[in-house]
Structure 1
Amino acid sequence: MLSYVLRRIGVSILILIAASLLMYVLVAWSRDPLQDLYASSSPNKEQLILQRIQWLHLDQPIILRWLNWLGGAARCVVPFAGCDLGVTIQNQSVQVLLARAVGSTLQLVTAATVLAIVLGITVGIVSALRQYSAVDYTFTFASFFLYSLPSFLMGVLLKVFVAIGFNDWLRDPVFSWAVIIVVSLVAGLFWQAVIGGNRQRRLTVFAASVIVTGLMMYLMSVTSWFLNPSLGPILSPLLIIAFGAGMVLLIAGTRARFAWRTAGAVAIVLVVAYFALQPFLPAFNGWGLFLLFVLALGVGLLAGWLLGEHDKGQAMRIGALTGLLGMGVIILDQFMRNWNAYLTNPRVNGRPIATVGSQTPNLQGDFWIQGIDTFTHLLLPTISLMLISFAGYTRYARGGMLEVLNQDYIRTARAKGLPERTVVVRHAFRNSLIPITTIVAADVGGLIGGAIITERIFAFSGMGALFNTGLQAGDPNPVMAYFIVIAIFAITFNFIADLAYSALDPRVRAK
């Protein structure tokens, strides 16, 4: 394994060097960085030209300039060696600009990637298990439709129908009876098709979904819930318990007593923590939330280890997921409690869903207000990137699951009388992920690259702006900074995909 890793690192370095030379030469030839100064009528024009030539070393051959850049970039991987990615045509440090841009773009892309993978795989597996049903056809149509939409059109549609429409609706957030009836019927049809079963079971699920959805929408209207939302001391504990029960049913099944004890113990601890933390949560910051999630993870792992009996590994997974999801409910409730303060802030003016920028200018508030502001600005560009990737993951997950379900070992598992949940979760799911690992590795680099258009549409100051500015000015240094980040991400995730192959399929070994 060590020799394989070293070989991959060596090959990756050679690829980066060759690709950086090609990119640098292409950008340097694409446009003259002195063009704007040649057309200037400034009295000190000659002085400005000489100054820029000195900043960018334009008096040197392109190959020598690239070697100088490569030497500065190489020092970035050596601690305390003095990282130097050059300067822009305005004599700004590219290293400083890149640090700001990478943070914004990764914040956007990470959320979109995680949501696309989780939702895409989930929907794809459900579609495969309900092959040729109404659910399968609906998901297939939706995925192909989303996949065909260009990112710029997706951004415009989200601006018009989500941001502007929702902000206008918040002036009087009341659902009409027609909307309640239609949405309730659609929810009932959806859930009965997803859950499936005989006619009686489908009718029961349909009726329950219609009643619950309609009642929730009615209560949200009469209580103006969207203006002052909260999960509260009743719904929050119920959600924590529901997440624990869901993890048990999904991973272990109804008969696993050790799993129920593990999830129950973790849920009880988190319910107690919900009430105990209420006086202290308003003073928390990002590091405090990180510590809470670490503690919740530790509680879940410890409960699984102590109560796991013969299958401690499975119990620890259930405990960990229950702890993380339960703590997520507690944090979400606190954010929701601060929604009204954010909504009524003079800088927001009752229109919370932002269409441009990464933050509200001059917004004053604590960690929770700033967190909500970040969420509202990330919402639309994240959805735009997520929906496009989600469509691809859905199709690959469906195809992979269908292929695995037709294998001989799946038929053998069913013939042995194993429950369908065990067949799908333990035997089919893991193997269906093998082709998706390649797609994820390739999609990460593509998603960051595709964020250029999305950032431009939503005026999001990230790596896309850095790339566009450098390319339009014929300045190689910002473009090379963008390139090196994209290349490193692409190579790294392809390497991780190779390792994931060997973890998912024991027949594959990295040598």
Structure 2
Amino acid sequence: MTRFVLRRLAVSSVILLVGSLLMFVLTINAGDPLQDLRESTASNRDQLIESRIDNMGLDLPWYQRYGQWLSGAAGCIIGQCDLGTDRAGTDVIALLEQAAGATLRLVTISTFAAIIIGVIVGILTALRQYSGFDYAVTFLAFLFFSLPVFWAAVLLKEYGAIRYNDWIADPQISVIQAFVIGVVLAFIMQGVLGGRAKRRLLTAGTTGAFVVIALLAFTYIGWWRNPALGIGLVLIVSVAFAVGITALIAGIGNRRVLYSTLTTVAVGAVVFFAVAPLLDEPNWLMLIGLFISAIVVGLVIGRLWGGYSRGVSMALSAITAGFMAIMTAADRFVYAWAGFLDLKPRPISTIGSQTPNFGGDFWESALDLGTQLLLPTMLLTLISVATYSRYTRSSMLETLNQDYVRTARSKGLSERTVIVKHAFRNALIPITTIVAFDFAALISGAVITEAVFGWKGMGELFRSGLTHTDPAPVMAFFLVTAIAAIVMNLIADISYAFLDPRIRR
């Protein structure tokens, strides 16, 4: 494996070098970097031209300019990066740090959300092939995949921001609106859960009644502007999550694992009150530390309860602990919503990555960052979910028809064991490739999405540099995205060995 990694790195370095040379040559020949100044009528035009020539090194041969950039980029290996300056004389590394930070905030959430949702939906559609649910998901997947990004972004801005901001000023849901929403969600839930006609009717009726009652009750008590979760709802959701993940992975009959996850929820309920004073005015470092501590506590509980299922018990308890930590933070975010609306009456923004000069506390400032992320994240997630769901479906269908899956069923293994432990693991191999390519591509910046929502990310850095025929920002963009593509593909290759032991040979 070490020899394979070193060989791949050597070949990738050569590709990176040739690609950088090609990118540099194409960029400097894409236009005239002095065109705007040549057309200027300013009295100091000649001085401005000379200054730009000096900043960009336009008086040097192209190969010398490339050599200067290459030597500065090579310094990154020893921690002495020098990627030059843009045409205005601004340090490109500073621009790159700002752009990469904005893009990573955007694409990390959307990528993980798309992976989780897409894989789950793909598995469900594979298990229920040619059902109404399968046809509906297939239609929506192709619809989302073929949506013009700019058009979908404009629709999200109209309905997800402008009209929502109008509604939240005086949030009211009528009986008719609640009934329509309940019917739609009831139809979706009965399609997802499936079963015979009696079970479908029961699912639809329960879902519809619950949604209608909840919407009308929330409207009556003014919950939309003054929401709260509380320990009760956090416990209910956490217990449901613990039981569900145990049933899915280990089986509800594995009592040790079930007791381990439920014990984790009980400990989390105690911690909910213990850490309350710390969460009044925390910081990100503290929250990360508390989250890691929750995972450690879950691992310890899983080890104590685990017995012969120690590995599974530790993993599921850690996941449950992480989920409850997230629910605890969500409770604080929900509680801070009312104060956030007082500071920002129109909460969902359509431009920029944060509100300038926002003066709220930690939770309100975090809500501001979250609402700025909401629309572009939804857009990127919807587009990526279509890809992941289709690939997962086809991969699962192919795996389910393999001889070893039929053998597992003939041995009397439960359907959960067959799906989770035998089929899904092997179906992950092609999905791993898609995840690697998709994440590397998203790091390059969603150029259109960032332009529509006014994000100053990697896509904007590339577009601006190319528009102004400025090679320094473009080459910085290329360096980061190319390295990301190489690293992610290498990680994907190494992951194959863990998913399929035969590849290790």
* Superposition TM-score tier, normalisation by shorter sequence: over 0.9
- 1:246-278 alpha-carbon deviations (Å, 9 max, x no partner): 221111111001111110111111011112222
Q: What is the match of residue 445 of structure 1?
A: 440
Does the alignment pair 1:485 with 2:480?
yes
Distance 1:188 1:96 in 2: 51
What is the percent sequence identity of the aligned residues?
Answer: 47
Offset from partner CA, 1:410-444 (integer Å, 9 cap, x none): 11222222221111111111111111111111112
Q: Return the letter of the residue paired with 2:192.
A: V
Aligned pairs for 1:241-280 within 5 A: 241-280=239-278
Per the alignment, residue 332 of structure 1 pairs with 330
User: Aligned partners of 1:410 and 1:435: how far apart in 2?
Assistant: 18
**Structure 2 counterpart SS, 1:358:** coil
1:372 corresponds to 2:370: no
Q: Does 1:351 align with 2:343?
A: no
1:42-74 Cα deviation digits (max 9, x unpaired): 333333222222222111111111111011011
CA distance in 1, matches of 2:169, 2:26: 52
Counterpart mapping for 1:288-303 below 5 A:
288-303=286-301
Where does residue 173 of structure 1 map in the other structure? 171
Alpha carbons 2:445, 2:458 under 8 Å: kept: no
* TM-superposed deviation, 1:211: 2.0
What one-letter code is carried by the residue in structure 1 that aligns with 2:423?
A
Q: Which residue is equivalent to 1:109?
A: 107
Q: Which amino acid aligns with 1:130?
A: R
Q: Give the Cα separation in 2 of the matches to 1:407 and 1:172.
A: 56
Alignment of 1:208-219 (within 5 A): 208-219=206-217
Matched-pair contact (CA < 8 Å) for 1:286–1:367:
no
* Structure 2: runs of 5+ lacking an equivalent: none
> Secondary structure at the residue paired with 2:308?
coil
Displacement of 1:450? 5.5
| The 10-residue stretch of structure 1 (133-142 or 188-197) with the greater mean CA deviation from structure 2 | 188-197
Residues 70-469 of structure 1 mapped to structure 2, 5 A cutoff: 70-79=70-79, 82-345=80-343, 348=344, 350-449=345-444, 451-469=446-464
In the comparison of the two structures, how many residue pairs are matched? 505
Structure 1 residue 152: Cα displacement: 0.9
Q: TM-score, normalised by structure 2?
A: 0.97
Tell me if the contact between 1:240 and 1:270 (Cα under 8 Å) persists in the aligned partners. no
Q: Partner residue of 1:69?
A: 69
Distance 2:68 2:444 in 1: 26
Contact kept in structure 2, 1:191 and 1:206, CA below 8 Å? yes
In the alignment, the residues of structure 2 paired with residue 476 and residue 327 of structure 1 have an alpha-carbon distance, to the nearest angstrom, of 45
**Residue 13 (structure 1) aligned with residue 8 (structure 2):** no
Give the AA of the match of 2:231: P
Paired letter, 2:493: D
- How far off is 1:205 after superposition? 2.1
Look up the match of 1:502: 497
Partner of 1:47: 47
Q: What's the secondary structure of 1:281's corresponding residue? A: coil
| C-alpha distance in 1 between matches for 2:393 and 2:156 | 27
SS of corresponding position for 1:501: helix
Give how far 1:199 is off. 3.4
Secondary structure of the 1:508 match is helix
TM-score, normalisation: structure 1:
0.96
Counterparts of 2:183 and 2:460, CA distance in 1: 44
Structure 1: how far apart are the matches of 2:412 and 2:208?
Answer: 35
8 Å CA contact 1:243–1:326 kept in 2: the answer is: no
